[in-house]
Amino acid sequence: MEKIRRHFIFYGYVQGVGFRWRASHTAQRFGITGWVRNLDDGSVEMEAEGTENDINDLIDVLKGHLWGSIDDMISEHIPVQGDHVFEIV
């Protein structure tokens, strides 16, 4: 399947609850590359590159995160960059 890349910003209870670790661990499990980081306003920003199905599965896992909660999410498609890893930055 063709790879895509999406940029996300997650709002809610997403900092200090293992959200970035869960994103990184799950992305690696699905073969997704990119990065995730905390923002100063309490939100979390992420770019994910992989198949659309794998990225959707990653988002489903994050929405089901037991210790935090996503109240809102902004997502947009951006150009593929050809990353080789998924990092917490």
- DSSP H helices, the chain, are 19-30, 52-63
Half-sphere exposure of 4 (CA within 13 A, CB side): 13
User: Of these residues, 5, 6, 29, 38, which one is catalytic?
Assistant: 38
20 is an active site residue: yes
Rounded CA separation 58/48 (Å): 9
pTM of the predicted structure, to 2 decimals: 0.94
Give just the sign of the alpha carbon dihedral 73, 18, 61, 57. positive
Query: 46-87, pLDDT tens digit by residue?
Result: 999 999 999 999 999 999 978 889 999 999 999 999 999 999
| 56 touches 1 (CB < 8 A) | no
Domain ranges of the chain: 3-88
The whole-chain average pLDDT of the chain stands at 96
Render pLDDT for 21-49 as a digit per residue (tens, 0 to 9): 999 999 999 999 999 999 999 999 999 99
Q: What is the pLDDT of residue 16?
A: 93
Pick the catalytic residue: 5, 20, 37, 56? Answer: 20
Q: Does domain 3-88 have CATH number 3.20.20.60?
A: no
